[in-house]
Chains A and B, each alone.
Chain A
């Protein structure tokens, strides 16, 4: 069975500072990996995904993530955050043999301070 661990439940940062949100997964097979963002009172939106190929994946709103197979990690990064990035971020994993079923982490609440 697959699982996802988001190592930080909350991450406060100052505006224009860089940020990294950590995600580790557990799986005995190859995986697909996703990051979603949830703004207050909204559903989740897909930020980016890793299926295969280049381990550095670029997504929307200036976010990127790096797949590291040896460390079973898929950390999300942004070099300079804005107030509008305040949201909850979810890492998710799926098995390529059943790619439709996503397993989500517990989420990381990113708070941007002016």
Chain B
């Protein structure tokens, strides 16, 4: 298996632009998570899905952030409009149902200028 695949690896955009981050989970995994990592706040859970349904989005910072999972093999995290404080590394992770731990993708480093 190729693991959790995220794209792009790096994204530089101007303030106010729309940004879309993409994730392909491991085939057969029931859960998908989006995390944000910054120096100041560490790893923050933004949202997670179970069988393509959003379960907990309480970590989504504000209405500018949205996430979708249209099918079991694809998820997006969208920021519109983007702001400099959104600069961070965004990780996607997936897992089976149960305490197996997550498999993380390599992350997308977002820089908003």
Chain A residues within 8 Å of B, Cβ to Cβ: 32, 34, 36, 41-46, 49, 51, 90, 94, 96, 99-107
Contact = CB atoms under 8 A, between A and B. Distances in A.
B4 interface: yes
A45 B101 CA distance: 9
A100 B95 contact: yes
A40 B105 CA distance: 13
Given A32-B99, A43-B4, A101 B56 contact: yes
Contact of A43 (B56, B98, B106): B106
Interface stretch (B43-51, B66-74, B80-88): B43-51
A101 B59 CA distance: 12
Nearest to B95: A100
A102 B42 CA distance: 13
Contacts, number: 50
Given A42-B106, A43-B91, A44-B91, A101 B101 contact: no
Contacts of B98: 99-100
Nearest to A96: B99
Nearest to A94: B99
A46 B42 contact: no
Nearest to B3: A43
Nearest to A6: B42
A9 B40 CA distance: 12
B75 to A, nearest CB: 15
5 contacts: A96-B99, A99-B99, A100-B97, A104-B43, A105-B42
A107 B42 contact: yes
B31 A100 contact: yes
Contacts of B104: 36, 43-45
B105 A49 contact: no
A12 to B, nearest CB: 19
A100 B91 CA distance: 16
Interface centre among B93, B101, B106 (most CB of A within 10 A): B101
A44 B94 CA distance: 12
Nearest to A34: B101
A90 to B, nearest CB: 7
Given A34-B101, A90-B43, A100 B107 contact: no
